[in-house]
Amino acid sequence: MLVIPAIDLKDGQAVRLFKGDYQQKTVYSDHPEELAQTFEEAGAKFLHVVDLDGAKDGQAKNLETIKKIRKQTSMKIELGGGIRDLKTVQLYLEEVGIDRVILGTAALEDPEFLKTALKRYGSEKIVVGVDVKNGFVSTAGWLETSQTPYLEFIQFLEKIGVQYIVATDISKDGTLMGPNFDMYDQIAKTSSIQFVVSGGIKDFDNIKKVAEKGYYACIVGKAYYEKKVDLKETIQCLQNV
C-alpha cells in the first residue's frame, strides 16, 4: 500500500482546511518545497499536492510554488485543484513534469474533456477526485454539491476507463476523526477501481486498517502535521503491505 503525504497550497503556503472550509485554515509552512524534501527523506514515493486556490477559481494559482516543489523532489507527484481544460493538463504533465493530475469538477461537468484527457495521456496520468458530501459528488473546491450520487459517478468512471480515483469524505477531511470506512467498503463492493483513501486519517491504526483491507493507498495530511503519525516509521511498516 502507498502512504501518500499531502501538501495543500493556499497563497503559496502549505495549509490544512477543516472540512474544506476556506475560513478555517491552519498554516504549516511558508516553504512547501522544504516539506516535500522532508517527506522524501521519510521514504515517501508519492506526494499529493492540491492547489486550493485553483480548486476554487479554476486557475493555476499556485503554479510557481508547484514548480519549486517539482524541482526539490524526485518523488512522483499527483496534483489536483482547478485543472479544467487540456491546456492546464498539458502544462502540468508536459512542462512542469507532474506525474499525474487529478480532475475533479471538470470530470463531473465535462465528461468529454475527461475522455479526451484519458485518450491522450492514459489512465496512469489522469486520476479523478471524487469528493463526497452527504452521499453526493461535490465540486468547485467543495463549495458546491451536485445531484450525482458518488457510487453512480464511480461506476461511470470505471466504465470509461479511469483506473485511479482519490475518494474523500468532506465531512471527515482535516478532522482527525478517522476515515469513513463504510464509504470505502461500498466503493470496493461495487467497483474494481483503485482508490486512494483521503480524509480523516488520525493515527497509525487507521493507516494499518486501510492496508489490511487491501486498498491501493491512503493520504496522510493533518495527522502528520499535528504529529499524530510518524511518517518514516509508518512507511517502513506499511509501504509494501
Q: Which three cell numbers stand for residue 233?
A: 516509521
- What are the two backbone dihedrals, phi and then psi, of residue 27, each rounded to the nearest 5 degrees? -90, 130
Q: What is the CATH number of domain 2-238?
A: 3.20.20.70
Residue 203: the pLDDT is 97
For 36, half-sphere exposure in the C-beta direction (CA atoms, 13 angstrom radius) is: 27
Rounded distance between C-alpha atoms, residue 217 and residue 30, angstroms: 27
Burial 168-196 (b: 16+ CB within 10 A, else e): bbbebbbbbbebbbebbeebeeebebebb
pLDDT tens-digit series, residues 167-185: 999 999 989 999 999 999 9
C-alpha pair distances (Å), 80 with each of 5, 117, 127, 174, 188: 14, 14, 9, 17, 23
Mean pLDDT of the chain: 95
pLDDT at residue 240 tops 60: no
Q: Could you list the active site residues?
A: 8, 131
Helix (H) or strand (E) holding 228: none
pLDDT tens-digit series, residues 109-151: 999 999 999 999 999 999 999 999 999 999 887 788 999 999 9
Rounded distance between C-alpha atoms, residue 125 and residue 79, angstroms: 10
CA 43, chain centre distance (Å): 19
Residue 241: the pLDDT is 47
pLDDT at residue 225 tops 50: yes
Helix (H) or strand (E) holding 55: helix 52-57
